[in-house]
Chains A and B, each alone.
Chain A
Amino acid sequence: MIPASFEYRRAGSVDEALGWLAEDPDGTKLLAGGHSLLPLMKLRLATPAVLVDIGRVPDLSYVTDAGDHVAIGALTRHRDVEVSDVARAEVPLLSHVAGQVGDPQVRHRGTIGGSLAHGDPASDLPAAVLALGATLVVQGPGGTRDVAADDFFRGFLETAVGPDEMLVEIKVPKARGGWAFQKFNRRAQDWAIVGVAAVVDANGSGGRVALVNMGSTTVRARGTEEALASGADAADAAARAADGLEPPSDLHASAEYRRHLATVLVRRAIEEATAGRA
């Protein structure tokens, strides 16, 4: 439980952090809330040579109404997303999911940017931003670029954020339809065995459904979405929840059981989202 030795630097600005990243992109890790990185370091599964603490970089913690979307700073803690009036009013799925992450200690330390950039398919927030069709703003030596959530999660613990870049903002379109989040875990504080974030279009013509822990990345339930778009009811759409997916088998659940759970939870999510709209 003691990490390997590393050099610690505290960044005062995004530029300073990016400058240090550029010096040794592969040996340097950014530290925000530390709730994913530090456990890996304590288990010595991660041994960065340099840790750049961005926790005190100013002006990266906010939830603001930006007209057609809500803009959220990457260092905003889960708890602040959970209780933000703007988030609750305009992107209620996201604020609800932020309130389901881990336990209160995790939610008061962990940041939305850290959770998304970690790219863990078992995390809840990636599914929420995927279902909401968010855009992620990534800053690097050449400036900032926008990445659609659909293009952000590339592989297990791998995202579109390059080794010399950092995630700075999440733009979440204001949601107009019904929504629901289903999290199935064995204890309240655990990662989801399977989770579902669903957004159903206001006119009832379809929706976006994203799944937690159903593959090597956060994924959309494309089969379900297609069925919804062609007018299927919740049960029929949910039956296709695991179409084309290869969920993991681990200590807590087999792939077969995850596939089954996905169909049950997606059905419940669609029913709940639809009921919420009425």
Chain B
Amino acid sequence: MSATVTDGVLAGGSDIVGTRMLRREDPALLSGEARFVDDLVVPGALHMAVVRSPYAHARVASVDLSAALAMPGVLAAFSGADLSGEWASPMPCAWPVTSDMQSPAHYPLATSEVCYVGDAVAVVVAASSSEAQDAAGAVAVSYEELPAAVDLEDAAGDRVLAHTGSPSNRAYTWELIPDADAVERAFATAAVTISERYVQQRLIPAAMETRGVCVVPQPFGGEFTVYSSTQIPHILRTMLGMTVGVPEGRIRVVAPSVGGGFGSKLDVYAEELLCLALARRLRRPVRWKEERTEAALATIQGRGQVQEIDLAADEHGRLLAVRVRLLADMGAYLQLVTPGVPLLGAFLYHGVYDVPAYSFTCTGVFTNKTPTDAYRGAGRPEATYAIERAIETLARRIGSDPAEVRRRNFIGRDRFPYASVAGLVFDSGNYDAALDAALELAGYDELRAEQARRRAEGDPKLLGIGLSSYVEMCGLAPSRVLASLNYVAGGWEAATVRMLPTGKVQVVTGASPHGQGHVTSWSMIIADKLGVAPDDVDVLHSDTAVSPMGLDTYGSRSLSVGGTAIALAADRVVEKAKLLAAYRLEVAPEDLDLAGGEFSVRGSPSRSIALGTLAFEAFTAHDLPEGMEPNLEASATFDPTNFTFPFGTHVAVVEVDTETGRVDLTRYFAVDDCGNQINPLIVEGQVHGGIAQGVGQALWEAAEYDEAGNPLTTTFADYLVPAATELPSFTLAHTVTPSPSNPLGVKGIGEAGTIASTPAVVNAVIDAMAHLGVTEIEMPATPERVWRSLRAAAHRTTEGAR
């Protein structure tokens, strides 16, 4: 729908919106009162443990459950064959990106072939989780090991097939080439061309709470309540129904407190389907909690790409064309949106720059590794990394300052709305302002002087300064755009606002928070709309019985889509209340003003009536205008007409110890523009966490596999997530360019930090050593890699001097 909010929340008169209100969610989280799936007390629940393949690729010769069944506390055990009758369809992939996409059938338990370490082959159900785990260890599975496709580029060559019997490891090839001739011409005539290759290593999402699920058959009516640590209760309900063959309406999905997701819980997992199927079969509650090491195998991973990017530019560094070829690691199977993740970046490989010619090709490739899927930023961090690394290479090539080269190429402030070469319409932007602010905040000129001083003095600790200017597309998503991308659902969000007889307010949202602070933000919007205290607003969410319509939380969509739906519903409540107020005060509705929760007659403010009073009168319905229905309640569904386009510039400052290769991130400056801010405190929190996560990719994190496909980073001693001790205090600032794509003027900030920080930090590391001849470093930039880069550069210099 297209709509305008009549009382613009931010058009002056806001008391609450824009303030740094403390999050209403936090007392329960900090005191331990919040209840996560594993905290739920469910009498009589059985515990499921999953037997997983220790091989990256193997034929399953036999599954012997007899020893497990004889173990204490065990009630049942099943192989894949035992449960094959439970499934109405394979596990879902909701994004068939091309009509010829290959998608091997994926069932919750493998029957004949396992395709990654962690692929499930059997389940054991016991009275306690420890008994279930002990018994799982007693299941005897006989495997015949097969060669594994592990390395992405090798797998793309089909030397080894990840699935026996499939014609190729290629899942799909997807192209966005608006004008191939224009690209060719640009590269043929450009004064400068550069070609870069980057590896986006796989990342483990590592949410603080691992996954968990508990399915409870209800005593009456053959229904199931599914408690799951998920970002997507609504989508999960539909998919559970389709996959397990239970009518959707008989499934209630509840996401209790959810301890983070970062995209990893935007999925439909085997364990959710297994618990539902087993609860149906055994008529008992069945629950499962993921172990941390299990999470490194059985929960989707992020990134996993090899990127080739070519730039064509004139002698001043003005971009003429961008050409990108991706190999994207799907892992062993296509999960819910696996194939679409790289394509969320497909439109953004020219970044914030005005580029006339564009070519993007992505091939999705199966490997014998854990499936990949959405991880904070999903496609957009990869795109930003490639263009922001490449633009600095271009700057070095032509001997210009990287800030200056960016400025030369920015889409100018006067160009918005800007129709991009890739087919998007960037609704708003002011990239120069963000860059200027970031450089000033960082003291860019002083940093460059300090860098030069250290180099001149031969200081073994070099200074590196890295920039990253980004734009992302958020607010997923206009349903019509999703249709054009073959996504099988829409991108709207639903809301209901309900005034209770006491004047308190209930808000029902289809968004499903798992750390973002929706309860706080939604109640702030309502507080200003209805003139109530935020604490008088209850936000109901994440339970399909309470909030039957919704499309959940991912892609920085909640505020710009879900928050707008809240505002629209509140406006409808006000509209109705105004009619009632006019009736009671015996004036025309146009003569009434709403302020502080009271309607008053323009010109005679003593004649007024409170919204709370009207709520009670609407409830008693003793004296309503002719034809008016009782109660003050309204629903709204918002389907955006465009994405939102947050942007900004980040500056990272690193010290590189040339003797050891150690990189210390010493300072970090971020200027972000997420449009209007409902709560700056929440904005800053999102930016902080996002930066930390992006820096993690730059310096520490990598999901590593050996040549046989064995995962090597299955504990937090080997998979290094940065802690506060590794990070400096971040210095944040903002520019505010309201988005015209929604009536709140908001954009989304959940992914920006992750998108911007990875290239900023890697650019800084290279910048520190560029004068020594270092031009590339693979992520994460470990001390050993930095040391080797320095050594190789020194060797080249020596060779060159001969």
The interface of chain A, by Cβ under 8 A from chain B, is 1-2, 4-5, 43, 184, 186-191, 193, 251-254, 257, 260-261, 264-265
Contacts and interface: CB of A to CB of B under 8 A. Distances in A.
Closest 7 A-B residue pairs measured CB to CB? A188-B725, A257-B784, A264-B659, A2-B130, A1-B291, A2-B133, A187-B726
Given A257-B784, A257-B787, A188 B726 contact: yes
Given A5-B134, A254-B784, A257-B784, A187 B720 contact: yes
A148 B576 CA distance: 87
A53 to B, nearest CB: 20
A251 B713 contact: yes
A1 B295 CA distance: 12
Given A2-B133, A257-B787, A187 B660 contact: no
Interface in B656-715: 659-660, 662, 700, 704, 712-713, 715
Given A43-B293, A187-B700, A261 B660 contact: yes
A188 B782 CA distance: 15
Contacts of B725: 187-189
Nearest to A188: B725
A187 B723 CA distance: 8
Report whether over half of chain B's contact residues are helix, strand or loop; otherwise say mixed: loop
B139 to A, nearest CB: 15
Interface in B779-794: 782-784, 787-788
Contact of A251 (B129, B292, B704, B722): B704
Contacts of A190: 717, 720
A186 B784 CA distance: 10
A260 B717 contact: no
Interface in B710-744: 712-713, 715, 717-718, 720, 722-723, 725-726
Nearest to A1: B291
Given A2-B133, A4-B134, A5-B134, A186 B783 contact: yes
B294 to A, nearest CB: 9
A251 B293 contact: no
A260 B788 CA distance: 11
Contact of B129 (A2, A191, A193, A253): A2
Given A1-B292, A184-B660, A251 B718 contact: yes
26 contacts: A2-B130, A4-B134, A5-B130, A43-B293, A43-B715, A186-B700, A186-B782, A186-B783, A187-B720, A187-B722, A187-B725, A187-B726, A188-B726, A189-B723, A189-B725, A190-B717, A190-B720, A191-B717, A251-B713, A251-B718, A253-B783, A253-B784, A257-B784, A257-B787, A257-B788, A261-B660
B353 to A, nearest CB: 35
Given A1-B292, A5-B130, A190-B717, 11 more contacts: A2-B133, A4-B134, A184-B662, A184-B783, A186-B700, A186-B720, A187-B723, A188-B725, A251-B712, A254-B784, A261-B660
B557 to A, nearest CB: 33
Interface of B: 129-130, 133-134, 291-293, 659-660, 662, 700, 704, 712-713, 715, 717-718, 720, 722-723, 725-726, 782-784, 787-788
A252 B784 CA distance: 8
A181 to B, nearest CB: 16
Nearest to B289: A1
A140 to B, nearest CB: 33
Contacts of B783: 184, 186, 193, 253, 257
A253 B660 CA distance: 12
A184 B663 CA distance: 12
A191 B704 CA distance: 19
A199 to B, nearest CB: 22
**Do most interface residues of chain A lie in helix, strand or loop, or is the interface mixed?**
loop
A216 B700 CA distance: 25
A188 B712 contact: no
A46 to B, nearest CB: 15
A104 B144 CA distance: 47
Contacts of B704: 251
A186 B725 CA distance: 11
Contacts of B134: 4-5
B11 to A, nearest CB: 47
A121 to B, nearest CB: 15
Q: Which of A4, A184, A186, A254 has the most CB of B within 10 A?
A: A186
Nearest to B706: A251
A109 to B, nearest CB: 17
Contacts of A193: 783
Contacts of A5: 130, 134
A18 B293 CA distance: 35
A1 to B, nearest CB: 5
A189 B784 CA distance: 19
A253 B722 CA distance: 18
A184 B784 CA distance: 12
Nearest to B72: A5
A189 B726 CA distance: 10
Contacts of B659: 264
Contacts of A4: 134
Contacts of B784: 253-254, 257
Contacts of B718: 251
Nearest to B290: A1
Contact of B787 (A188, A260, A265): A260
B596 to A, nearest CB: 49
A184 B664 CA distance: 12
Q: Residue among B129, B659, B722, B784 with the most chain A CB within 10 A?
A: B784
Nearest to B662: A184
Nearest to B659: A264
Contacts of A252: 782
Contacts of A261: 660
A249 B700 CA distance: 18
A251 B712 CA distance: 8
Contacts of B662: 184
Nearest to B724: A188
Contacts of A188: 723, 725-726
A155 B713 CA distance: 25
A261 B659 CA distance: 8
A10 B715 CA distance: 30
Contacts of B788: 257
Nearest to A44: B137
Nearest to B782: A186
A1 B714 CA distance: 12
Contacts of B723: 187-189
Nearest to B700: A186
Contacts of A264: 659-660
Contacts of B130: 2, 5
Nearest to B129: A2
Contact of A1 (B293, B717, B720): B293
Contacts of A257: 783-784, 787-788
A193 B130 CA distance: 35
A2 B129 CA distance: 9
B106 to A, nearest CB: 27
B701 to A, nearest CB: 11
Interface centre among A1, A43, A193 (most CB of B within 10 A): A1
Nearest to B719: A251
A119 B720 CA distance: 24
A263 to B, nearest CB: 9
Nearest to A264: B659
Contacts of A191: 717
A259 to B, nearest CB: 12
A184 B130 CA distance: 38
